[in-house]
Amino acid sequence: MMVILGRVCFIISLWLSIRWYLFVQKQNYSKAHSLLNENLIDFPNDKETLLNKVNIYLMTKQTDEATAIYNQLATNKKDSLLALNGLALVSHIAKKDKTALEISERAVKEALIVNDSVLTVQTLERYTQALIWNKKFKDAEFQINELVKSYGEENWVLSLRATLGMYRGDFKQTIADYEKILKKDSLSFDGNLGSTNAYFANGEIKKKMEVLSALLSPEEMMKVSRENAEAEYEKYITGGVVIDVNGKVIADGEKGKDAAFQTNIQAQYKDKNIAVNKRTYPMFTAKKEGKTLYIIPIVGMGLWGPIWGNVCIAEDKSSIAGASFGHKGETPGLGAEISLGFFIDRWVKGDEKITDENGDYQKFDVVKDGTGAQTSKIDGISGGTITSEGVEEMMNRCLVPYTVYFKTL
């Protein structure tokens, strides 16, 4: 009789797990939650059901509810250790990383007593993650090296090292580790998602550094690395806005900051199916030394390919306070020099303004060396005529909508 009852319970549990999984895959968390609650009526302490329920709470960031489930699960030494590992993750989701590390340190000690190989691996993995979350990178690196000695380059160890690389801004190492995972298991969820995120984050960090390069001096930018670019970006960039070609606001405030960052002006510029009057124009608001500044991304075409940049406008909404330019393949020693300091200085140190006394856009002319002494005339690159003309066109096309927007402030 007990054997038959056990088989029936197993079949019911399997059936519920399949239905739960399908609901979760569709992100229908409320139905998945209801299904699990139905099972808990008959089996109030069923471990698998409780773990599935806590996973929903973790996915939906319901940290109090997740904590309650883990506390309910902690009925013996093994399950208490499992609960500690879960509670560390809950603390991280709740942005309490210091608490997460404290819990993980306690779990490592408990793992020595429990002496379960599977739980030990889970505990060491969570402890290493907690070190990374707390930016204790040297300790995390030491721990990962020890794990490599004990377990070799198993996928979970490689994933930890890739995560450390991501936090450090070492995307080359991160991508290399995820590629090792995919070489062993091409369908690996962690490998595919992690690799995608690494490539994406690499691009995000680069973009944030480019925005900062228009705001900060060369000496200040020397202190910005891939490791601290995120923090420096958040330190200076306080908001943003996205406008249309007529200067009308599409998004602003905190949402505007995110929207401005996500707006890909290079993709819009290349897409011939997007009419010029349908393009959107992002701008970042920054605070530096008590002053409000505005950083405007721009994009155009040089001799051999795309050119781009960011122009920093001073608090008066007219003076150019900073700039940075980049290119994909301009000629070294000629057009490629648009990214060098001496060319940028010509925009910043010449009291150049983007508007006239009425607040209307003031056209720039990038001219041959030595003839750009007057306002709105900038000395171009010697021997880089077409690239210089590309910069001129880029500035004059991209900046106009912002001068219209500035009149509304």
Residues 221, 209: Cα–Cα separation, whole Å: 8
Could you tell me the two tokens for 398? Answer: 């991209």
Q: Quote the DSSP letter at residue 362.
A: -
Mean pLDDT of 29-41: 61
All domains of the chain in start order, with CATH: 19-202 (1.25.40.10), 228-406 (no CATH)
Residues 333, 331: Cα–Cα separation, whole Å: 6
In sequence order, the β-bridge partners of residue 241 are 283
Residues 307, 142: Cα–Cα separation, whole Å: 42
What's the pLDDT band for 52 if we cut at 50, 70, 90? Answer: confident
Tokens 């319970």 -> residue: 9
The per-residue pLDDT for range 230-247, each reduced to its tens digit, is: 889 999 999 999 999 999
SS3 content of the chain, % helix, strand, coil (to 5): 60, 15, 25
Higher pLDDT: 82 or 31? It is 82
CB 299 within 8 A of CB 308: yes
Residue 239's H or E segment, with its range, is strand 237-243
User: 127 in the Ramachandran plot: left (φ > 0), alpha (ψ -120 to 50) or beta?
Assistant: alpha
pLDDT score recorded for residue 104: 95
Higher pLDDT: 186 or 18? It is 186
What's the pLDDT band for 58 if we cut at 50, 70, 90? Answer: confident
pTM, rounded to two decimals: 0.59
Average per-residue pLDDT for the chain: 82
Could you tell me the two tokens for 288? Answer: 């530096």
Q: What contacts 5, CB < 8 A, 6 or more positions away?
A: none
Residues 300, 383: Cα–Cα separation, whole Å: 19
The per-residue pLDDT for range 120-170, each reduced to its tens digit, is: 999 999 999 999 999 999 999 999 999 999 999 998 999 999 999 888 877
The per-residue pLDDT for range 355-373, each reduced to its tens digit, is: 888 889 888 877 765 554 4
346 HSE (CA, 13 A, CB side): 26
Higher pLDDT: 107 or 52? It is 107
The per-residue pLDDT for range 395-409, each reduced to its tens digit, is: 889 999 999 999 998
Higher pLDDT: 21 or 310? It is 310
Could you tell me the two tokens for 133? Answer: 């979350």
SS3 153: coil
Tell me which amino acid residue 40 is.
L
pLDDT score recorded for residue 371: 54
8 has a pLDDT exceeding 60: no
pLDDT score recorded for residue 34: 63
Residues 341, 290: Cα–Cα separation, whole Å: 25
Higher pLDDT: 82 or 26? It is 82
Could you tell me the two tokens for 383? Answer: 């021997």
Residues 188, 182: Cα–Cα separation, whole Å: 6
Mean pLDDT of 254-270: 88
SS3 366: strand
List Cα–Cα distances, 274 to 212, 267, 308, in angstroms: 28, 10, 19
Q: Give the Cα-Cα-Cα angle 132, 50, 12 (nearest 5 degrees).
A: 135
CB 302 within 8 A of CB 387: yes
Stretch among 16-25, 94-103, 220-229, 290-299 having the lowest mean pLDDT: 16-25
Short-list 381, 352, 387, 386, CA closest to 369: 381
What's the pLDDT band for 218 if we cut at 50, 70, 90? Answer: confident
What's the pLDDT band for 381 if we cut at 50, 70, 90? Answer: low
Mean pLDDT of 255-265: 89
Beta strands in 314-391 (DSSP E): 320-327, 365-367, 377-379
What's the pLDDT band for 314 if we cut at 50, 70, 90? Answer: very high
Could you tell me the two tokens for 54? Answer: 């806590």
337 HSE (CA, 13 A, CB side): 15
Using CB atoms within 10 A of its CB, is residue 370 exposed (0-12), middle (13-18) or buried (19+)? exposed
Mean pLDDT of 8-24: 49
Instruction: DSSP for 272-290, please give it.
Output: TTS-GGG--EEEEEEEETT
